[in-house]
């Protein structure tokens, strides 16, 4: 039983390739689906433009120029005392088209440098294999994950990176936020399925028919299970995890209809994919859901065995917010990127409409651990907010410190409850482009990046107040908050 953060607790932070690397065509990189997403903001949704159009800005093309500044960035993470750093590998750096026969050596060398830099600073790398950036060529050729062919090309990439980094990397995640497409709010980034191959369209309106979404998800679940098996065959000590958006859900009232509504939404959004990945089979409640929604999953012979054998070693999730569920369809459903629900009257809300609920994190950790009894890493958490640099170059982000402090306190409570929480990698530890809005204005970092949505700024890095605070948190192993 734990009652404190273990001495080996993995404190760190997380960034993804497509929202920070930039260098979108350097050293042989191919075009990914993230590269055709335009900038947006709270009011204006991002667009998918199958053809590039000069009238738009594409934030992934420059990102925060991490490709050229990673040494400085990782040195800053090390200075904060990071024990672990979660980042993703851009599939299109390794296989520019996704289905190339041989990998792109220059792309691999970039990740050699990142990993070596981490190890030099005694930081454990945690790699997400697919984070919202599959190759665009595969969207045109196969319509993304709707095609079963994606499984093989994904595994080709897994084999290359597992083999190359087998002695350097222990922790892996197969897919970022795999459960996103279980809702009809799912966007384009996760499955790479495009409705219109010619014209710009709203990336939030790629709300495919449930049959399409769940079939594509089946392919990802099989790919994930096969990746786990492949990884373990290359190095049995690998720890390979699933990764979910966990949308902590409360009944809006104690009316039994609201409670049942919550149970049903919890099943489909919060548990379906992790039940498959952690327990190795489709959960019983999905039969009813598929029947009532006219969904027929095409499984191939052997799929059930693959799912059974390819269960994960740990559970990981992103946690930003919670929401309430109501059986009354007239109740307003609030905003969140893929999370929706009725706003909770007891909680404050961020400028981007995400409700702030640290206790929901303790509750979620307990729910997940009760269900799977697997080690857990919280791989995303944080507050997206506007930051302002004062004339003397400081950034006073006390609101972010308050948010993170509240969540770390509840992590500690969950550990006292007996939850095997082994790590914490807050989101966007360096400011980067927002995924849902495609803007720089929504910042999460401990490190400020001098770059703005109008293209101004010199991309220089500056520690915020939260940087110095988090450094103390890590140094005191979570005691000094």
Residues found near ligand BG6 in the complex (CB under 6 A): 16, 19, 132, 176-177, 318, 337, 380, 384, 427, 434-437, 442
Shortest Cβ 427–ligand BG6 spacing (Å): 6
- If the CB atoms of residues 86 and 412 are measured against ligand BG6, the closer one turns out to be 86
Structural contact between residues 159 and 223, judged by C-beta atoms closer than 8 angstroms: no
| Residue in the shown chain whose Cβ atom is closest to ligand BG6 | 436
Cβ at position 274, least distance to ligand BG6 in Å = 15
Give bridge partners of residue 251 from the DSSP assignment: 325
User: Would you say 34 and 133 are in contact if contact means Cβ atoms under 8 Å apart?
Assistant: yes
Which of 265, 380 has the CB closer to ligand BG6? 380
Cα gap 424→280, rounded to integer Å: 25
Eight-state DSSP code of residue 430: B
Q: Which is nearer to ligand BG6, 142 or 427 (CB)?
A: 427
Q: Is 380 a catalytic residue?
A: yes
**What's the min distance (Å) between Cβ of 244 and ligand BG6?**
10
Quote the least distance from Cβ 169 to ligand BG6, whole Å.
20
DSSP calls for 306-374: HHHH---SEEEEE---EEEE-S-TTSPPB--SS--BBPPTTS-B-TTSPBP-HHHHHHHHHHHHHHH--
Cβ 176 to ligand BG6, closest distance in Å?
5
The count of C-alpha atoms lying within 13 angstroms of the C-alpha of 142, restricted to the half-sphere facing its C-beta, is 23
| Integer angstrom CA distances of residue 320 from 169, 192, 334, 366 | 27, 24, 14, 16
Give which of 291, 248, 250, 252 is closest to 270, Cα–Cα.
248
Of 21, 117, 133, 177, the active-site residue reads 177
| Residue that has been written with the tokens 């999370």 in this structure | 339
Q: Compute the Cα dihedral for 370, 191, 58, 153 and give only its sign.
A: positive
Look up residue 396 and give its two tokens: 């006073």
CB of 325 or CB of 442, closer to ligand BG6? 442
Q: Which of 380, 413, 420, 479 is catalytic?
A: 380
Q: Residue 262 or 436: which CB sits closer to ligand BG6?
A: 436
| Pairing mode, strands 461-463 and 447-449 | antiparallel
Q: What is the DSSP string of 255-279?
A: -HHHHHHHHHHIIIIIIHHHHHHHH
Q: Which lies closer to ligand BG6 via its Cβ, residue 16 or residue 144?
A: 16
Write out the catalytic residue numbers. Answer: 177, 380
């Amino acid at each position: 039983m734990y009652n404190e953060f273990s001495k080996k607790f993995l404190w760190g932070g997380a960034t993804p390739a497509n929202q920070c690397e930039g260098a979108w065509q350097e050293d042989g990189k191919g075009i990914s689906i993230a590269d055709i997403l335009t900038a947006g903001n709270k009011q204006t949704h991002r667009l998918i433009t199958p053809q590039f159009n000069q009238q738009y800005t594409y934030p992934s093309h420059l990102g925060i120029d991490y490709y050229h500044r990673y040494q400085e960035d990782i040195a800053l993470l090390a200075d904060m005392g990071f024990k672990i750093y979660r980042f993703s590998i851009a599939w299109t750096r390794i296989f520019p088209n996704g289905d190339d026969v041989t990998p792109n050596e220059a792309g691999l060398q970039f990740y050699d440098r990142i990993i070596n830099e981490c190890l030099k600073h005694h930081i454990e790398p945690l790699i997400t294999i697919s984070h919202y950036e599959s190759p665009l060529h595969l969207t045109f050729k196969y319509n993304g994950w709707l095609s079963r062919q994606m499984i093989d090309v994904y595994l080709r990439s897994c084999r290359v990176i597992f083999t190359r980094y087998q002695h350097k990397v222990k922790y892996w995640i197969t897919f970022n936020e795999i459960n996103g497409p279980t809702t009809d709010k799912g966007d384009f980034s996760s499955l790479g399925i495009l409705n219109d191959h010619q014209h710009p369209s709203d990336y939030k309106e790629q709300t495919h028919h449930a049959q399409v979404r769940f079939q594509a998800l089946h392919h990802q679940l099989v790919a994930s299970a096969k990746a786990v098996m492949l990884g373990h065959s290359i190095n049995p000590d690998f720890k390979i995890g699933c990764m979910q958006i966990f949308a902590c859900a409360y009944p809006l009232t104690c009316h039994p209809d609201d409670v049942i509504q919550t149970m049903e939404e919890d099943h489909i959004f919060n548990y379906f994919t992790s039940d498959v990945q952690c327990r190795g089979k489709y959960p019983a409640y999905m039969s009813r859901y598929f029947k009532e929604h006219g969904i027929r999953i095409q499984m191939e012979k052997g799929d059930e065995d693959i799912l059974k054998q390819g269960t994960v070693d740990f559970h990981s999730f992103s946690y930003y917010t919670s929401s309430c569920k109501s059986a009354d369809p007239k109740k307003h459903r609030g905003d969140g990127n893929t999370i929706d629900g009725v706003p909770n009257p007891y909680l404050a809300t961020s400028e981007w409409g995400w409700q702030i609920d640290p206790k929901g994190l303790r509750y979620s950790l307990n729910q997940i651990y009760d269900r799977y009894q697997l080690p857990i890493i919280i791989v995303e958490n944080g507050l997206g907010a506007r930051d302002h640099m004062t004339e003397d170059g400081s950034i006073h982000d006390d609101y972010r410190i308050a948010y993170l402090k509240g969540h770390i306190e509840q992590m500690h409570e969950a550990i006292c409850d007996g939850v095997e929480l082994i790590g914490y990698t807050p989101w966007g530890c360096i400011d980067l482009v927002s995924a849902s809005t495609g803007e720089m204005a929504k910042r999460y970092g401990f490190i400020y990046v001098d770059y703005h949505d109008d293209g101004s700024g010199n991309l220089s890095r500056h520690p915020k107040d939260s940087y110095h605070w988090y450094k103390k948190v890590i140094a005191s192993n979570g005691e000094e908050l």
